[in-house]
Structure 1
Amino acid sequence: MRIVLVGPPGAGKGTQAAFLAKNLGIPHISTGDLFRANISQGTDLGKQAKAYMDAGNLVPDEVTIGMAKDRMEQADAANGFLLDGFPRNVSQAEALDEMLNAESMKLDAVLDLEVPEDEVVKRIAGRRICRKDSSHVFHVEYKKPQQDGVCDVCGGELYQRDDDSEETVRTRLEVYHTQTEPIIDYYKAQGLVVTISALGKVEEVTARAMEALKSKADDK
Structure 2
Amino acid sequence: MRIVLVGPPGAGKGTQAAFLAKNLSIPHISTGDLFRANISQGTALGKQAKAFMDEGILVPDSVTIGMAKDRMEQPDAENGFLLDGFPRNVSQAEALDEMLKAESMKLDAVLDLEVPEDEVVKRIAGRRTCRNDSSHVFHVQYKQPKVEGVCDICGGELYQREDDSEETVRKRLEVYHTQTEPIIDYYRAQGLVVTISALGKVEDVTGRAMAALKDDAAA
- The one-letter code matched in structure 2 to 1:155 is G
Q: Report what 1:113 is aligned to.
A: 113
**1:194 positional shift:** 0.3
TM-score normalised by structure 1 residue count: 0.99
Question: Hey, what's the Cα distance between the residues in 2 that align with 1:93 and 1:104?
Answer: 16
Identity across aligned pairs (percent)? 88
Q: Report what 1:169 is aligned to.
A: 169
Q: Report what 2:138 is aligned to.
A: 138
- The one-letter code matched in structure 2 to 1:112 is D
Structure 2 residues without counterparts, runs of 5 or longer: none
**1:68 positional shift:** 0.1
- The one-letter code matched in structure 2 to 1:27 is P
C-alpha distance after superposition, 1:20-58 (max 9, x if no partner): 000000000000000000000000000000000000010
Question: Hey, what's the Cα distance between the residues in 2 that align with 1:159 and 1:63?
Answer: 35
* Structure 2 counterparts to residues 13-162 of structure 1, below 5 A: 13-162=13-162
Question: Hey, what's the Cα distance between the residues in 1 that align with 2:60 and 2:108?
Answer: 27
Question: Hey, what's the Cα distance between the residues in 2 that align with 1:6 and 1:57?
Answer: 24
Question: Hey, what's the Cα distance between the residues in 2 that align with 1:50 and 1:150?
Answer: 36
TM-score normalised by structure 2 residue count: 1.00
- The one-letter code matched in structure 2 to 1:25 is S
- The one-letter code matched in structure 2 to 1:149 is G
**1:146 positional shift:** 0.3
Could you say what secondary structure the match of 2:49 adopts? helix
Question: Hey, what's the Cα distance between the residues in 2 that align with 1:214 and 1:130?
Answer: 39
C-alpha distance after superposition, 1:144-193 (max 9, x if no partner): 00001100000001011100000000000000000000000000000000
Question: Hey, what's the Cα distance between the residues in 2 that align with 1:116 and 1:170?
Answer: 12
Question: Hey, what's the Cα distance between the residues in 1 that align with 2:84 and 2:192?
Answer: 16
**1:122 positional shift:** 0.1
Question: Hey, what's the Cα distance between the residues in 2 that align with 1:108 and 1:192?
Answer: 7
Question: Hey, what's the Cα distance between the residues in 1 that align with 2:63 and 2:161?
Answer: 28
**1:114 positional shift:** 0.1
**1:7 positional shift:** 0.1
Could you say what secondary structure the match of 1:111 adopts? strand
* Structure 2 counterparts to residues 166-205 of structure 1, below 5 A: 166-205=166-205
Question: Hey, what's the Cα distance between the residues in 2 that align with 1:198 and 1:106?
Answer: 25
C-alpha distance after superposition, 1:175-215 (max 9, x if no partner): 00000000000000000000000000000000000000000
**1:89 positional shift:** 0.1
- The one-letter code matched in structure 2 to 1:103 is E
Runs of 4+ in 1 over 3 A off after TM superposition: none
Question: Hey, what's the Cα distance between the residues in 2 that align with 1:157 and 1:56?
Answer: 30
For these two proteins, the number of residue pairs brought into alignment is: 219
Q: Report what 1:208 is aligned to.
A: 208
Could you say what secondary structure the match of 1:110 adopts? strand
C-alpha distance after superposition, 1:31-88 (max 9, x if no partner): 0000000000000000000000000010000000000000000000000000000000
